[in-house]
Amino acid sequence: MTSDGCTPPSLARCLPRPNRPGGDVGKDFRVSKDLRLSDEQRLDWLRLIRSDNVGPRTFRDLINRYGGAHAALAALPALARRGGASGPAQIFPREDAERELAAAKARGVAFIALGEPDYPQRLQMIDDPPPLLSVRGKLSALARPLVAIVGSRNASAAGLKFAERIARDLGAAGFGIVSGLARGIDAAAHRGSLASGTIAVLAGGHDRIYPAEHADLLESILADGAALSEMPIGWEPRARDFPRRNRLISGLSAGVIIIEAARRSGSLITARLAGEQGREVFAVPGSPLDPRAEGTNGLLKQGATLVTEAADVIAVLEPILGRTLDLPAQEPDLVPRLDGEPGEDQRSRIVSLLGPTPVAIDDLVRLSQTSAAIVRMVLLELEIAGRLERHGGGLVSLI
Amino acid sequence: MTSDGCTPPSLARCLPRPNRPGGDVGKDFRVSKDLRLSDEQRLDWLRLIRSDNVGPRTFRDLINRYGGAHAALAALPALARRGGASGPAQIFPREDAERELAAAKARGVAFIALGEPDYPQRLQMIDDPPPLLSVRGKLSALARPLVAIVGSRNASAAGLKFAERIARDLGAAGFGIVSGLARGIDAAAHRGSLASGTIAVLAGGHDRIYPAEHADLLESILADGAALSEMPIGWEPRARDFPRRNRLISGLSAGVIIIEAARRSGSLITARLAGEQGREVFAVPGSPLDPRAEGTNGLLKQGATLVTEAADVIAVLEPILGRTLDLPAQEPDLVPRLDGEPGEDQRSRIVSLLGPTPVAIDDLVRLSQTSAAIVRMVLLELEIAGRLERHGGGLVSLI
C-alpha cells in the first residue's frame, strides 16, 4: 500500500486542518523543505485528482488511507463498487495524464504538488488545497506575502482608479497582488501591480483565458508575476468554476480587499470564503446611493476592515505576516493509516442513515454505533461511487 | 445665601456629572418634575449667565456655592476682586435682562431653565448644559427621542438626497431630527423632517438667522418643530460660536449622524463632542476618492457605526432609548455648600502654582496642600476675574 513511496505520503499529517483564526495552524504540518515528487509520482497524483468523483478533499482522504496516489488509484475500482456506483470507476487514463503533462511543459506550465517548496505557503492551510497547481510565469512571485484585490466587473471610473492605485501602493510595499483576471476591478488591480508582481488565478485551463480580451494582459502579468490554475489544460471555464476558483484567490492571500461589489456578486463569495479561511477581509466604502457599494458597505457592517489607502491594509497585515507559519522540516511519515474495513452490515447501517437531507458526520458515528474510521471509509466509498455530496460544517447527504 | 430660593438651587445635586458611556448618569439628579422658576428667579438666572466670565460651568459652580443666582450675583464683585480682576465685575444689568426677556416674549421665544420639565432631557446630562435655553416653535418637539444629522455645507447631490431621505425615514420612525440650519446637509436634514418635527440649533440669537437665506426654512421648521439658542436676542454669531453651538446639537441627541464631511470640518467637531458626551456616532461611507467622504470614512475607521439606511440607526438607538434616564422627582435641597473661605496665603500659594501651561486641578490640590474645596473656590474667583482658562480633562491655566 505504500508502493508509490509518494512523498508527502501521509497527508493526514502533511495536510493541514482547516485554518481557523487564532488557531495553531502549523501544528499538523510535517513537510520537508526539500520535498519533490518523482515524475512517476506526479503522474499518479495527476491521474488521481483528475479521476471522477475525486476532489481535493477526497484526494486527501485517499492518500491518508492508502499512503500514496499509486495505491489509491489501485483501490478506486473496489471503492466505487462497494460504494454502489452505477458503473466501473472512471480512472483518469495514464496516457491522458502523460499528454496533459507534455502539453503543460510545451506551454511553460509547471505542476507544483502540495508540500513541495514552491507550493504557496498559505494555500496549504485551507481546507481543500489543490493537490497539484499548474503555474505559468515566475514562481518567485508566489513566495511573497500576497494580498487579493477583487471587485465588480462593471466598476466605476473611481473604483478602477482606486484599484490600480492601491495595487501599486501595496506592490511597492512588498506585497504580491492576487486577482481573477476579470474585467473591471480585477484587471485594474493586475495592471497597477505589473511591475511589482501580480498573480492571476484562472477558473479554466492555462490555454482557455477568460475573458479572451485579457490574453495580452495575462502576457504582461507573466513577465514578473504568474498565472495559476487547478484545472486541466484545455478546460473551458463554466459558471460554477468561478466560485471554486475564488477559494484559491482568498486562500493564497493573507487578506482580501473588496472594491465595489453589488449585492450577491462573486466578490462577496470571495469575501465569505476569505472569512471561512481565516483571512482578513477588507472593504472599500462607497456612497449608500451607489449600488456598486452595497456589497462592500454590507461587508463593513459585518466587521470587515475599512480601507481608503494601502496603509490601512498594511497596518492589519504586518503583524500577521511577521508570524512564522511554523512548518518544521522533517522526514515524512510513510505509514498509511490502517483503519478497519467496514463490514457489510456496518456499511448498510450507515447508508440507511443517509438521505437527501444533509446530516452531520458526528451524528452518523453516534447513530450507526460504529467508529469514526469506519464511517469515514464508507463515506469515501460513496464519494468515489459518485453518490455522496459533502456540505459545509461536516454535513453530508446522498445524491 | 439662599435668599432667592432659587429652584433647582443646589445644582451640586441638580446638575449632572459629565455623562460617560455606561455610567449611571441619572445618579446625581434631584429634579422635581413640576419645577418652575419664578419670573424673578428667571431674571436672576439670565443676569448671572449673561455676566462677564460666567459660562455654563461657572454658573453651576456659583449656584452650587451660593445656593442660588441672586446670592451668586451679589457675590460676584467680591469674587472678582479676590481673583485679581483688572476692574470691577461686569454684572449684566437688570434692565438689560428685563429688555431681553421682553424682546424674547415679543418674538414668541420662551426661556427654559435647566431642571424645568420642558428642558430637553438628554441635554441636562452633558458637562456644560446652558442654564437657560431660548426656544421658538413647538416645545413638544423637544420631548421626542432626538437624532442629529450634520454634514458638509458643500455637499454632493447624492449626499443631499441621502440626508433628506434618512431624515424623513427617521422622522417617520418617531425621532425628532436635530441640525444646525447650515447650507447643504443640515438644510436637507431639516427639509426631510419638516412634517415629523425638526429642531434647528442656532449659533446666534433668534433674530440673527445664519445663513440669512434660510429664514424661510426656519419658519417652516417652526410649524411642527423648534429653534433653540443659548445666545442673547440680537447676538450675531461669530466663528467660535459654531463649535460651542455644536455641543448642543450632539447633547440634545441620542446619536449623531455625519453625512459627508471633509477633514477638519465642523461636522467632525460635532462628532468628537458627541463621543465625549457618550452619544452614538454614526457615519455615512463614501468613496475614498471623494474628499467629502474623508471625514466620515475617518470616523468609521475610529469605530463610528456605518449607516446606509435609517434601520442602521434605529437598531443601535432603540435599546438605548428604552432605558429610562432615572430622574427621580424630589424636592430640591436648598442648602448651599458651605466650603471654607480661602485664606490669603492659600490663595497666593494656589495662584503661584498656576501659569500659562495647563495644570491638573488634582495636582493643584496636592501641591498646594489645601483642600479640593479651597482650590475650587480660588479657581472660581480667578474665573470670575477673567484670569482663568479651563481646558478639557480637569486642566486649568492662567490667561
One-letter amino acid for residue B181 of the chain: L
Looking at residue A150, its pLDDT comes to 97
How many CB atoms are closer than 10 A to CB A3? 11
A157 touches chain B (CB under 8 A): no
Nearest to B306 among A159, A287, A300 (CB): A300
A282 touches chain B (CB under 8 A): no
What residues pair up with B150 in beta bridges, in sequence order? B258
β-bridge pairing B280-283 and B255-259: parallel
Nearest to A162 among B159, B288, B300 (CB): B288
State the Cα–Cα distance between residues B264 and B254, nearest whole angstrom: 23
- Cβ neighbours of A284 in B, within 8 Å: 287-288
Q: Residue with C-alpha cell 426656544? A: B135
Nearest to A286 among B162, B286, B307 (CB): B286
Average pLDDT over residues B87-105: 94
Record: contact A287-B287, CB cut-off 8 A: yes
State the Cα–Cα distance between residues A322 and A147, nearest whole angstrom: 15
- The residue with greater pLDDT, B16 or B59, is B59
Coil, strand or helix at B391: coil
Interface test with A, best of B156, B160, B289, B292 (most A CBs within 10 A): B289
- Report whether A170 contacts A189 (CB < 8 A): no
Nearest to B161 among A289, A294, A300 (CB): A289
Nearest to B162 among A161, A288, A312 (CB): A288
Average pLDDT over residues B298-324: 90
Helices then strands, counting H and E runs in chain A, come out as: 15, 12
- The residue with greater pLDDT, B260 or B1, is B260
pLDDT bracket for residue B390 (50, 70, 90): confident
- The residue with greater pLDDT, B258 or B351, is B258
How many CB atoms are closer than 10 A to CB B216? 9
Return the residue of B nearest to A296 by Cα. B285
A307 touches chain B (CB under 8 A): yes
Looking at residue B322, its pLDDT comes to 65
pLDDT in tens, B211-245: 999 999 999 999 999 999 999 999 999 999 999 99
Please, what is the average pLDDT of chain B?
A: 86
- Cβ neighbours of B293 in A, within 8 Å: 285, 287
Q: Which of A92-106, A178-192, B18-32, B97-111 has the lowest mean pLDDT?
A: B18-32
Record: contact B287-A161, CB cut-off 8 A: no
- Report whether A68 contacts A9 (CB < 8 A): yes
Looking at residue B328, its pLDDT comes to 39
Looking at residue A336, its pLDDT comes to 57
Looking at residue B278, its pLDDT comes to 93
Beta strands in chain B (DSSP E): 110-113, 132-137, 146-151, 176-179, 198-201, 226-229, 255-259, 280-283, 305-306, 359-360, 388-390, 395-398
Nearest to A306 among B159, B289, B301 (CB): B301
H/E stretch holding A76 reads helix A69-82
Average pLDDT over residues B271-290: 95
Record: contact A293-B285, CB cut-off 8 A: yes
State the Cα–Cα distance between residues B379 and A379, nearest whole angstrom: 81
A324 touches chain B (CB under 8 A): no
Record: contact A301-B297, CB cut-off 8 A: no
Q: Among B139, B49, B53, B35, which Cα is nearest to B100's?
A: B49
Interface test with B, best of A287, A301, A309 (most B CBs within 10 A): A287
Print burial letters for B244-255: b (CB count within 10 Å at least 16), e (below 16): bbbbbbbbbbbb
- Report whether B366 contacts B331 (CB < 8 A): no
Distance from CA of B163 to the nearest CA of A (A): 11
Chunked mean pLDDT (size 10), chain A, 399 residues: 33 33 31 73 96 92 90 93 88 96 95 94 93 96 96 94 97 96 97 98 96 97 98 94 96 97 90 94 96 96 97 92 50 52 88 90 90 89 88 85
**Cis, bond preceding A8 (omega within 30 deg of 0):** yes
- Cβ neighbours of B307 in A, within 8 Å: 288
Return the residue of B nearest to A291 by Cα. B308
> What is the DSSP secondary-structure string of B69-118?
HHHHHHHHHHHHHHTT-SSS--PPPHHHHHHHHHHHHHTTPEEEETTSTT
Record: contact B300-A300, CB cut-off 8 A: yes
Return the residue of A nearest to B312 by Cα. A301
pLDDT in tens, B315-369: 999 887 765 444 433 334 445 555 668 888 889 899 999 988 899 999 999 888 8
**Cis, bond preceding B8 (omega within 30 deg of 0):** yes
Distance from CA of A167 to the nearest CA of B (A): 14
Record: contact A285-B286, CB cut-off 8 A: yes
State the Cα–Cα distance between residues B209 and B231, nearest whole angstrom: 12
Nearest to A161 among B162, B289, B297 (CB): B289
H/E stretch holding A258 reads strand A255-259
Looking at residue B88, its pLDDT comes to 87
Q: Of A62-66, B26-30, B307-311, which has the strongest mean pLDDT?
A: B307-311
State the Cα–Cα distance between residues A270 and A287, nearest whole angstrom: 22
Distance from CA of B185 to the nearest CA of A (A): 15
Q: Which three cell numbers stand for residue B372?
A: 479640593
B309 touches chain A (CB under 8 A): yes
